[in-house]
Each structure stands twice: as structure tokens, then as C-alpha cells.
Structure 1
Amino acid sequence: MTHALSLTLLSLAGIGAFVLGVQLFFVLRRQWSLSRAPAPVSSGAAPAGISILKPLCGVDDDLEANLACFATLGYPAYEVILGVKDTRDPAYQVAQAAVARWPKVMRLELQHGEPGLNPKVNQLITLAGVAQYDILLISDSNTRVEPDYLHEISRTFEDPEVGCISHPVSGIGEQTLGSLMDNLYQSTTTGAGQIAAKQAADQDIVVGKSMALRREVLEALGGFYSVRNVLAEDFVIGRWVTRGLGKRAVVARAPVYNVSQKKSVSAFFKRYIRWCIIHHSCIPTPVYLAQSLLNPMPWALLGAMLEPSLRALGVVAGVTLAKLVHDVTVFRVLRPGQPTPAMTVPAVLLKDVLLFVAWANGLFARSVDWRGNKLRVMAGSKLIPPASAPVQSLPTPESLPGAKSEPESESDSNELLAG
């Protein structure tokens, strides 16, 4: 029995290492193609106006520089609407200073009421209501982008079948071990997963760190109000756009950079404990189990511990080497011009062990502590406060106006394959 279980775990780890090799191939192929192919050109129509909705909560690492990046994008028709819950938020003064510095681009809005349990969506409801343009771009406060960011969004929306655009994610700015692990995850799991899903299966995965929608599409979904009580609003919106409305969700060429500088190892671990619970709530358990193969080193270690042998140790060494090559290579490729810290190799190993623990916890846990609030996460990341009456049920994609039918056998996990 022990021999069979050990052999199974070692075999699964080997399969995981192979899948990582395939993922690395697609990431390198995409980067090679982008380096050789010119960017698509516009049809010549006037650039569409874009409203950037940027909810703030607390002072992120280097927030002032993050906001400055969005103030000077060189696009002819755009606005940046900064949102805070109230004037007690430490981000309020930073936002005020940004508006004073760039009054023609930025403005500040305080949240109106508290319609739901998702703090980010509560702000988005207010920000969308005051936005002047018909392309709404949700942008996290800890991000930076490249100069062509808005131009590519405008060009992509020239296709009327496109309903949603998101961007490959990478991580930059690490000064601590916790932030290094965070940026490694953003690059080697989220960003690499988005790229591989598109290259291998033509799946455009929606990630809410940077997500653009047509206003008419958002209104057809019931506005942000319809996702006020879900934690993974990007997953739900992406699913509704593609399955409910029959529109395309596109992953852009340009990346968006997650800035993490001073996160502690404890903060990193707590974040992904919460994230794994959310992730499992959005996808079937068999898919959640299968995705653990993308972190094969812990499985190889468990297999070797059950039945130690030279062969088992060889598998552990091979799988570990494959994971290190994958993560270090992707980290360098998706962060052009950024240095690779000397601690990257040990950070990969520690990251994978902590992520495995978080993943295992996500198999069973259903409650999260988010911004000081204890919330229970139900199917589809629907939020319910403990010991309270159930919140209003969410509509399904099929119940939306103009919804198109989809085969029932299609997996619900496409939008979350990046994770």
C-alpha cells in the first residue's frame, strides 16, 4: 500500500513537472512572437474615451509612484477616478495630493453607502456611476503599466464582439522575502497561466487586477451592483460576459505590473490562505485538485518520505530542478529590465511549501478574514456574514438578458486557470 501510494505521488509530481515545461514553452514562444511582430494598428477611428476606476484602501507600497504612472499615459481621452471609502482611509491624503498635482486627469470620489460585502465592488459602484466615458477600466492601486496600455485597449474594443479585456500580470519591486515570493507568484503562476491558457487552449482568462469593460456590457450584467456580494468579482464578470452575453474576453499583449515591495512572509501566507479558499469556491474540486500538480515539489517530497530510496530522491531532485528552471526563467522573461534577486531560488522553494499548505487548507476551509471582517465564502465566491440571513442569490449567466446557451458539460473554471 505504501509503495503504491509513494509511486503514485512521485508519478503525479513527474506529470506536474512536464506540464510546467509545456507552460514555459508557451511563455517563451509568446515573448518571442511579440518581439518579432509589430503591434496591431488602429483602424483610424478616433480613440475611445476611457475611464480608469481605481479603488484605494490603505497606502500600498509606493502608491504615489503607482498613481503617477497613470497620470502620464499620453492618451488623448481618459480620466482616472480615485476612490476611497471615507476620509479616514490613509489613502485619502495621497489621493488628494494626486488630484492636486494632476487635476486635468484625476479626481477623487468618496464611496456612497455600503451596498454589499465586497469593499472593492462597493467603491466600483460609486466610481462607475460618475465615470464620463463608455469604456470602464478597473485598475488596482498597486499596479503600473506600459505607455501603450490605453491605446491597446482602445484598439481591441474596435471589435464589437469584444466585451472584456484583461492583461497578463507580473510582479516587480521586491525588497523583502515576502514581496519576492508574492511577485514570483504573480509572474510564474498568474501571468504564466494566463499566457499558457491562451496559447494552448485559446482561453482568455479574466484577472481583475486590470480589467476593461464596455459600459453597455456592464449594464447588461446588472452593473457592479450584481457582484456586490461576491469576493471573486472578476471571475463572475468574466464568466457572465462570455457565457451570458456571448462576448469575447481578451487577454491583451501589454502586461500590468503588480508592485509589491515590503510584504512580510506572514502577510504573503495569509493572503494566499484566503486566496485558495476563494479559488476553490469558484471551481470544481477535481479541477482544484488537478491544479496542485503545478506545484509538484511537495508531492515528490511526500512520495519520497513514504518510501525513501535513491530513485525517489532522484525524482525529488529532478522535479525541484524543473520547478526552479520554470520559475526563474518566467520571472526573468515577464519582467524585462528588472534584476533577479540573489534570494530567488530559496524564495521559490519556500513559496511552494507555503502555497501547498494554503492549497491544502483551501480543500476544507470556507471562511476568510478580510480587512478585519469574518466572512463565509460559498460557491461562486458568494459572501455571507456569519450568523446572518443569507444574502440575495446571484443570477446565473443563463438568466441574463440576451443570454446565449452553452453546453452544460463545459467547465466552470476557464477564467481561473491562471491560478
Structure 2
Amino acid sequence: MEIFDFGSFNTYIYLLLLLLSLSAVWFYAYGIHAAIAFLNHPNFIDPDFHPAITILKPICGLDDEAYENFASFCRQDYPQYEIIFSVRDANDPGIAVVQQIIQDFPQLDLQLVISEHTIGNNFKVCNLANGESKAKYSILLLADSDVRVGPDYLQQVIQPMHDPLVGVVTCLYRPLTQGWVANLEAIGISTEYLAGVLVANKLQKIEFALGPTIAIRKTALEAIGGFPAIADYLADDYQLGYQPAQAGYKVVLSDYVIDHAIATTSFTDLIQRQTRWFLCTRVSRPWGYLGLIFTYGTITSLLFLMTTGGSIFGWGVLVITWIMRLLMGWFVGVKILNDAVAQKLLWLIPVRDLISFFLWCYCLVGNTFEWRGRLLKLTKEGKVKPITADAARVMST
């Protein structure tokens, strides 16, 4: 072909970009296949299977619509469960909402644990451990404070544990947003990140968990050493799936889709959150992280078009790649998640992919990030260490 009739270096560049674009098309096609398979998966509910559950809900600050989020867990059509809210700071603004919840649902087994006891540098895990110390039941369900669910949530999520070999169950989630920045983040979650989760689940079944909801047997948690075993890891949700899987337990992706509020209000917040998530992936699954380069077809096809001087062939590669990317985004975001943002703003996918690609490049080498006002450093093992004020000043000079 004429566009390849150049020196060897240029030819290698063109071929590399073409290969990356075609691999992305394959990934998008398989993502659609994985989404259809997930949609058609039989959803069997045994109404007689309802083991007692302890819901652990760590609190740090006050999320938007926190009362409704908490109350949705109190309206479950489920016979026996308790909810333990845990918070580290006695002055945390979320405490007042929890106290109101306890007052409004006196028929339920609810309690609030306030403790600064620390077992590691990941304060969310410390919070969970403080709540778990009061748990009555052998199945724990970890649910973030910004999650909202329907009354059938517990009954559906717990079903895979009918199999005693299943140690962990996790869920996809549908972003709830306010504002254009949150919408931009939600598009990436619905059409990129969760598409990757479905692909991983279809290829070989997942061996990780997703933070907003994780149901785990106490025996599986004890098998890995309890919460102290993951208290220094950044990707605690990943470890709560990965380590039990290594101990011989199955990890299952539930058919249930929860609602997860995205509180991102500024572009800086978006960059910080996405940087943290990319770093989580890099240290948890380094080869998988490098493999993401084969999924950025919107970027590589655009570069291919530019390097071929706007050729007809280059345009053809770009159009096919972008159509497949949008189709995958529609299948996952709209058909599977029923995400209102994806329904309205699917055209933002190329913009979101561009941001994602630049962050992927940065996180190949970066290892510092901010998390809830704390400046942290990521080690090679995936653990976090606080950066002192003196060290931070040195880094800024």
C-alpha cells in the first residue's frame, strides 16, 4: 500500500498504530459479547436462602443525599440483618445523619461505632475493621456510604453464596451524577472501566472485587488474615477479591446493579480520583495495566489517521474503531447499567478516552496521590505510606 512506502522507521510506526487500533476493535467487539452474555445470564432467586448478614458501612464526611443512601439499606425485604456504621472522627458530620437513621428505623438492628483505632495507612479499612469487631453474623457486606440500593438488594446479592465455595460477591454500579465534571467521570466508569470488568469476567472469571459493594464470608476474610492483611493496601477492594481467590474461594460478579453517587465537583477532583484508580490497577495487575494500551482505539486510530496524512484508509480505520467503541459504550452503559448519563452523553466517550489515555501514561511512572486530604506515596507492593510535610515541601521545590 502506498501509505506504507516509506522508510522502515515510519513503516513500523504505522504498523504499530494499525495493530493497536485493530486490537482495540477486537476488545470492543468482545466487550459487546461479554455485555450480551451478562445480560442473558439466568438470574435464579431462591426465596428460602437468606442467611443473616452484617452490613458494614464506613463513614468519612457527609455525602450528598446521605440520608436517602443510608435509608435505602434500612428498607430491605430481608428477614435478618444488621447495619454497623463506623466512623473514626467523633466530630464527623456524617454522625448526625446516622443518628437520625437509627431514630427513624427503631425496628432494625443498627449501631454506630466511633473509634480512632488504626491498623494501617488505609483509613477506610481501619474503619471497616472497627465495625467488624461488633459484627454478629458470619457473612459481611461492605457498602460505601455513597451507595443507594433497592429493597431486593440483599436477597439478590447474597444468592451466589448458595455455593459454599463462593467467598466473595461484588456488583457493577450505575453512576449518579450532578454537574458536568461528574458526568465526564461517569462516562468513563460506565463505558470503559465496567466494560473491562465484564470482559475480565467473561474471559476467566474475576479474581477481584469492586469497592461499592463486597459481600464476603468471615471464613474467607479470616483465611487471608482479616482486615489487617489489607490495611496498608491502596486497592483494598481488589485485595478483598484477589486474596480470597488465592486461598481457594470463588469470586462472583452479581447480576444486581447498584446506584453509586459520583461526588466529583471539579476537574482537579476528577484527575485525583482517576489517578488513584489507575495507580490501583498498575500495582494490582501490572500486566493488565500495560495491556490497556490495546484498548485505547479512539486515540491510536486518530494518531494513525494523522500519520497517514488523512488517507482514505486512515479514515476507514478511524470510523470503524470509533463506531465499535461507541457500540460497546452503548451496550454496557445503556443496556446493562441503564445509566442516564450514558444515554444522553455517549458522544463524550472520545473526550473521556483522551483524558484516560493521558492519565494512563502519567501513572506508568507516577506514585504519589492525594486521598481525602492526605498526601500518600504508593510502594511497589501496592501499599500506601503517608508523605510527611517536610518531604512534600522537598517534592514541590
Equivalent residue for 2:356? 355
Alpha-carbon distance in structure 2 between the residues aligned to 1:279 and 1:340: 24
The one-letter amino acid paired with 1:76 is P
Are 2:132 and 1:132 aligned? no
Deviation at 1:338, TM superposition (A): 4.2
Equivalent residue for 2:394? none
Alpha-carbon distance in structure 1 between the residues aligned to 2:241 and 2:268: 31
Deviation at 1:142, TM superposition (A): 1.4
Q: How does 1:273-288 map to 2 (within 5 A)?
A: 273-284=275-286, 286-288=287-289
Alpha-carbon distance in structure 1 between the residues aligned to 2:352 and 2:11: 28
- Contact kept, 8 Å, 2:62 with 2:93, in 1: the verdict is yes
Q: Secondary structure at the match of 1:115?
A: coil
> Against the structure 1 CA distance between its residues 141 and 113, is the aligned structure 2 distance closer, same or farther, given a 3 Å change threshold?
same
- Contact kept, 8 Å, 2:168 with 2:244, in 1: the verdict is yes
Alpha-carbon distance in structure 1 between the residues aligned to 2:289 and 2:140: 31
Give the TM-score, by structure 2 length. 0.88
Work out which of the residue numbers 146, 151, 156 in structure 2 matches 1:147. 151
Equivalent residue for 1:188? 191
Equivalent residue for 1:259? 261
Deviation at 1:91, TM superposition (A): 1.7
> Against the structure 1 CA distance between its residues 106 and 52, is the aligned structure 2 distance closer, same or farther, given a 3 Å change threshold?
same
- Contact kept, 8 Å, 1:183 with 1:258, in 2: the verdict is no
Work out which of the residue numbers 7, 10, 30 in structure 1 matches 2:15. 7
Q: Secondary structure at the match of 2:256?
A: coil
Mean Cα deviation higher: 115-124 or 9-18: 9-18
The one-letter amino acid paired with 2:320 is G
Are 2:70 and 1:67 aligned? yes
Alpha-carbon distance in structure 1 between the residues aligned to 2:288 and 2:341: 35
Deviation at 1:353, TM superposition (A): 0.9
Q: Deviations over 1:310-363 (max 9, x none)?
A: 222332232222212221332111233847554331x21221111111100110
Equivalent residue for 2:393? none
Deviation at 1:55, TM superposition (A): 0.8
- Contact kept, 8 Å, 2:174 with 2:339, in 1: the verdict is no
Deviation at 1:123, TM superposition (A): 0.2
Unaligned runs of 5+ in 2: 1-8, 390-397
Deviation at 1:204, TM superposition (A): 5.1
Q: How does 1:213-292 map to 2 (within 5 A)?
A: 213-243=216-246, 245-260=247-262, 263-284=265-286, 286-292=287-293
Are 2:84 and 1:76 aligned? no
> Against the structure 1 CA distance between its residues 38 and 18, is the aligned structure 2 distance closer, same or farther, given a 3 Å change threshold?
closer
- Contact kept, 8 Å, 1:378 with 1:384, in 2: the verdict is yes
Runs of 4+ in 1 over 6 A off after TM superposition: none
The one-letter amino acid paired with 1:269 is I
Aligned residues between the structures: 379
Work out which of the residue numbers 93, 102, 125 in structure 2 matches 1:90. 93
Q: How does 1:13-24 map to 2 (within 5 A)?
A: 13-24=21-32
Q: How does 1:359-374 map to 2 (within 5 A)?
A: 359-374=360-375
Alpha-carbon distance in structure 2 between the residues aligned to 1:135 and 1:180: 34
Equivalent residue for 1:166? 170
Deviation at 1:75, TM superposition (A): 0.7
Taking only the aligned residue pairs, the percentage that are identical comes to 25
Equivalent residue for 1:316? 318
Q: CA RMSD in A?
A: 2.3
Q: Secondary structure at the match of 2:178?
A: coil
Alpha-carbon distance in structure 2 between the residues aligned to 1:325 and 1:301: 18
Deviation at 1:17, TM superposition (A): 1.8
Alpha-carbon distance in structure 2 between the residues aligned to 1:102 and 1:123: 23
Give the TM-score, by structure 1 length. 0.84
Unaligned runs of 5+ in 1: 389-419
Alpha-carbon distance in structure 1 between the residues aligned to 2:265 and 2:352: 13
> Against the structure 1 CA distance between its residues 131 and 361, is the aligned structure 2 distance closer, same or farther, given a 3 Å change threshold?
same
Alpha-carbon distance in structure 1 between the residues aligned to 2:193 and 2:383: 22
